[in-house]
Amino acid sequence: MSTPTSQEKKFTIKDYKTASPRWCAGCGDYAVLVGLRKYLSDQQIDPSSMVNISGIGCSGRMPHYLNTFGIHSIHGRPIPVTLGLALTRPDLTLFIESGDGDAFSIGGNHLIHGINKNFNTVLVILDNQIYGLTKSQTSPTTKTGVLTSSEPTGAKMEAVNPIRFMLGLGASFVASTADWLSNHFLDILKKAHEHPGFAIVHVSQRCPKYNPGAYDYKSSQWYTFMEHENGVPADQKFGPDAQIIQHDPSDLEKAFHFAQEPTKYYGLFYQDATRACYDAVIRDQVAQTPQKDRSQLLDRFEI
């Protein structure tokens, strides 16, 4: 996918804008929204050929602020809603915006099957390590000891490791970035969009209102960029201060290794672009089954 020059651009960032967002001041969701609008304009995605699908949460408001088609669906359910679209409308660009609660709590079941079916979409998970919209309950990624409204004496359990979890489920694409790494976010999004299958972009997202200590976005000592010729470069703005290592995204064992380290890694953990995609498989099957034979497919079953 080559990026159009400014003379070739039909859609400007303004074309992707709608209502003014209603997030708290300093919320990382703003940066993600700006990044998404910039990406769509960079790639000249026709707003009428795109659907943004979300669940419920502060993150779930994202489709309201993008001038594309959008579905603000049910808590935890953006993945099955998107699968329906992927099966029937392969001509559309489908992006999902989900939260840590939406993706790993109530939507955890659907995440298993989205990953397993490997259908074509980009899933952006905005992880602020808290339930933001419902005012500060512990989420699966809340760190031990953080004071939340459901555990006012501090979260008791060890947080779910989202990268390890998704690699363990067999995801064909897992990348990690942060809302304040604007260039890196765009590079990761492009790589995810080019991926044939279920591409997961995990975003460290600031929630100054209910989880201000989750990410120290002012320093870069605690994270490391993973670079590779088949991955994405470190963010140039932060690269000089941050650690950078080489990681081949085809190496699943190393991906697990980095996912488990206490250091936070940003970059492409893993990609396998050779796997079958459920939506394409089903469409092929339908195309190869003559209309007259379709009604007989169930004849061998006693139902």
Ligand X SMILES: Cc1ncc(C[n+]2csc(CCOP(=O)(O)OP(=O)(O)O)c2C)c(N)n1
Span interacting with Mg ion, options 70-78, 105-113, 127-135, 143-151, rule CB under 5 A: 127-135
Using the rule CB under 5 A, which residue among 29, 100, 179, 279 binds Mg ion?
A: 100
Query: Does 58 sit near ligand SF4 (CB under 6 A)?
Result: yes
> C-alpha 200: how far from its chain's center?
4
176, 127 contact by CB (below 8 A)? no
Q: Residue 198: which of 165, 172, 177, 175 has the closest Cα? A: 172
- CA 41 to CA 30: how far, in whole Å? 17
Tokens 């995810």 sit on residue: 192
Nearer to ligand SF4, 24 or 282 (CB): 24
Nearer to ligand SF4, 120 or 128 (CB): 128
Span interacting with ligand SF4, options 24-32, 82-90, 245-253, 270-278, rule CB under 6 A: 24-32
Using the rule CB under 6 A, which residue among 27, 45, 56, 66 binds ligand X?
A: 56
Nearer to ligand SF4, 101 or 231 (CB): 101
Eight-class DSSP state of 55: -
Eight-class DSSP state of 185: H
Query: Does 56 sit near ligand SF4 (CB under 6 A)?
Result: no
Q: Which two tokens stand for residue 224?
A: 């490391």
> C-alpha 203: how far from its chain's center?
7
- Cβ-based burial of 160 (10 A; exposed 0-12, middle 13-18, buried ≥19): middle
Burial code (b: 16+ CB inside 10 Å, e: under 16) for 45-58 equals bebeebbbbbbbbb
Smallest gap, in angstroms, from Cβ of residue 209 to ligand SF4? Answer: 4
Using the rule CB under 6 A, which residue among 28, 63, 101, 197 binds ligand X?
A: 101
110, 77 contact by CB (below 8 A)? yes
Eight-class DSSP state of 76: T
Using the rule CB under 6 A, which residue among 16, 23, 119, 266 binds ligand SF4?
A: 23
Query: Does 128 sit near Mg ion (CB under 5 A)?
Result: yes
Query: Does 27 sit near ligand SF4 (CB under 6 A)?
Result: yes
Site for ligand SF4 in 168-207 (CB under 6 A): 207
55, 67 contact by CB (below 8 A)? no
Eight-class DSSP state of 299: T
Using the rule CB under 6 A, which residue among 31, 45, 53, 57 binds ligand X?
A: 57
At how many degrees (to 10) do helices 278-288 and 78-88 cross?
Answer: 40
Smallest gap, in angstroms, from Cβ of residue 61 to ligand SF4? Answer: 8
Using the rule CB under 6 A, which residue among 52, 54, 59, 118 binds ligand X?
A: 59
Span interacting with ligand SF4, options 157-165, 173-181, 208-216, 287-295, rule CB under 6 A: 208-216
1, 193 contact by CB (below 8 A)? yes
Site for ligand X in 171-190 (CB under 6 A): none
CB atoms inside a 10 Å sphere around CB 223? 20
- Applying CB under 6 A, which residues contact ligand SF4? 23-24, 27, 29, 58, 128, 132, 207-210
Query: In the complex, which residues of this chain contact ligand X (CB under 6 A)?
Result: 56-59, 75, 99-102, 106, 126, 128, 130-134, 139
